[in-house]
Amino acid sequence: MPASSLAAKVELSSIAKPAEPKLAIRGFGSVAASGFTVTYNPSSNAVHEQFRSALQTDHVFETVAESLNKTVRMPSTVAIELVDCNTINAFYDPNTHRIIVCYELLDYVLDVFKAGAKSQAELGNSVIGATMFSFYHEAGHGLIHMLDLPAVGREEDSVDQLATLTLIAMGDEGVGMALSGAYWFQLQATKAGHETPFWDEHAFDGQRFYNIMCLIYGSNPEKYSKFVENGNLPSDRAKRCPEEYTKINKAWEKLLQPYLTNGAAVNVDYKPSVPIVEAPKTTGKDPWGESPSGDSTPTVAAGSEEAAPEDPNSHTITCEDVATKAGELVALEAQSKATSMGAAEVDELKRRLETQLPAMMQQIISECAKAEWSNSSRQCVIDAKTLDQASKCGT
């Protein structure tokens, strides 16, 4: 969230709950809904309504949620809500497992960047980038709370680190967003009346700027050498940034290892929660980015060396097969019930399916593997024609 001097305490009861979808996506058997969902609240403020329309039309947060659902297994649903808050803020509510992004925050970020923007396109990218940094910062709070992760030191510093690492892993576009977040703090630090008090849980805006710059530089010093050349990162700090990046990146990998989907953990050396034989094929891409040396060669997950070679004549049905079929049946049921919907509603349903099904399928894979579903039960799901039939299979 912004420095406390910017944001009044949010009265949660004043924030309207988003409207329930006209057609809820049903779970599969004992696998309840989980993962990240997205809603955009309409606004009576004309500018906020423009924000909502643009974000919803481009499916900005659905794309983010779908990526998270393919990367980390959450124990329950996390609602991403864009709403009017009557204050400048973005925050995670631990009582309701909501990440709330206030339209007023976009207003504020727009105001911060507009004076220095050279074009509307640059302004738009800066606003989206800073907003995404703020979102991943709050998502970090959600992960620490819901996964009961330890946070030594200030939690605000920890989630700044996670937001930056996540964006670095997205490549040049993500790094651009992280830089927008950094420059937001830099510009904010120069504004009168926006000083962070000494007692606040957040670091000073200037410190947050340099911490982000250091992690980006440390991830690839040769690529980001201009940070030092142009004076944005002092050389005394820069020489320690590669080691700082490596340590922080490794620490977050270790904390999140038990909750990463197997496909997302291709470059993480750990014993997965789902056996290798049951896991989806890996993506071949490290979700946390390359090492400072640029070496992106996948490491072998611990324990996989002893795995028996797959028998080409084996017809064993994997948990991934089961999850894929269950996902297809969930989608088919939702689509058949949507025949009376209008085109816009059908498009919204399609986006919700694309966003939420990856999380459901990961939970099915995990439950199937841990409970060691029998091959006959797995075959029953594969043969099922409807979701009801599949849900009754003797798992």
Q: Is residue 248 part of a domain?
A: yes
**Residue that terminates a domain, selected from 239, 259, 279:** 259
Q: Is residue 16 part of a domain?
A: no
Q: Is residue 352 part of a domain?
A: yes
**Residue that terminates a domain, selected from 259, 279, 308:** 259
Within this chain, do residues 331 and 245 fall inside the same structural domain, yes or no?
A: no
Q: Is residue 156 part of a domain?
A: yes
Within this chain, do residues 228 and 357 fall inside the same structural domain, yes or no?
A: no
- Quick check: 82 and 132 in contact, CB under 8 A? no
For residue 215, the SS3 value is: helix
Q: And the tokens for 392?
A: 């009754």
User: What is residue 194's predicted lDDT score, i.e. its pLDDT?
Assistant: 56
Q: Is residue 38 part of a domain?
A: yes
User: What is residue 345's predicted lDDT score, i.e. its pLDDT?
Assistant: 85
Within this chain, do residues 200 and 51 fall inside the same structural domain, yes or no?
A: yes
Within this chain, do residues 41 and 173 fall inside the same structural domain, yes or no?
A: yes
Within this chain, do residues 323 and 248 fall inside the same structural domain, yes or no?
A: no
- What is the domain extent for residue 374? 319-391
Q: Is residue 274 part of a domain?
A: no
For residue 98, the SS3 value is: strand
Count of the separate structural domains present in the chain? 2
Within this chain, do residues 233 and 346 fall inside the same structural domain, yes or no?
A: no
- Quick check: 10 and 95 in contact, CB under 8 A? no
**Residue that terminates a domain, selected from 226, 259, 292:** 259
User: What is residue 302's predicted lDDT score, i.e. its pLDDT?
Assistant: 35
Q: Is residue 326 part of a domain?
A: yes
User: What is residue 237's predicted lDDT score, i.e. its pLDDT?
Assistant: 94
Q: Is residue 63 part of a domain?
A: yes
Q: Cα separation of 83 and 313, whole Å?
A: 54
Give pLDDT tens digits along the chain (395 positions).
443 333 445 677 677 677 777 777 888 887 877 899 999 999 999 999 999 999 999 999 999 999 999 999 999 999 999 999 988 999 999 999 999 999 999 999 999 999 888 999 999 999 999 999 999 999 999 999 999 998 777 889 999 999 999 999 999 999 999 999 999 998 876 665 555 544 454 546 778 999 999 999 999 999 999 999 999 999 999 999 999 999 999 999 999 988 988 666 555 655 556 665 565 554 444 444 544 444 433 333 333 334 444 444 456 889 989 999 999 999 998 888 888 888 888 888 888 899 999 999 988 988 888 888 898 999 999 999 999 999 888 75
Within this chain, do residues 226 and 110 fall inside the same structural domain, yes or no?
A: yes
Within this chain, do residues 209 and 337 fall inside the same structural domain, yes or no?
A: no
Name which of 96, 125, 101, 100 is nearest 113 in CA terms: 125
Query: Can you say how many angstroms the Cα of residue 225 is from the centroid of all Cα atoms in its chain?
Result: 28
Within this chain, do residues 225 and 369 fall inside the same structural domain, yes or no?
A: no
Within this chain, do residues 127 and 229 fall inside the same structural domain, yes or no?
A: yes
Say how many C-beta atoms besides its own lie within 10 A of residue 232's C-beta.
18
Within this chain, do residues 94 and 232 fall inside the same structural domain, yes or no?
A: yes
Within this chain, do residues 177 and 38 fall inside the same structural domain, yes or no?
A: yes
Full DSSP string of 240-295 = THHHHHHHHHHHHHHHHGGGB-TGGGTT--S--SS-GGGSPPP-SS-TT---TT--
Q: Which residues, in sequence order, are CB contacts of 331 under 8 Å at separation 6+?
A: 353, 357
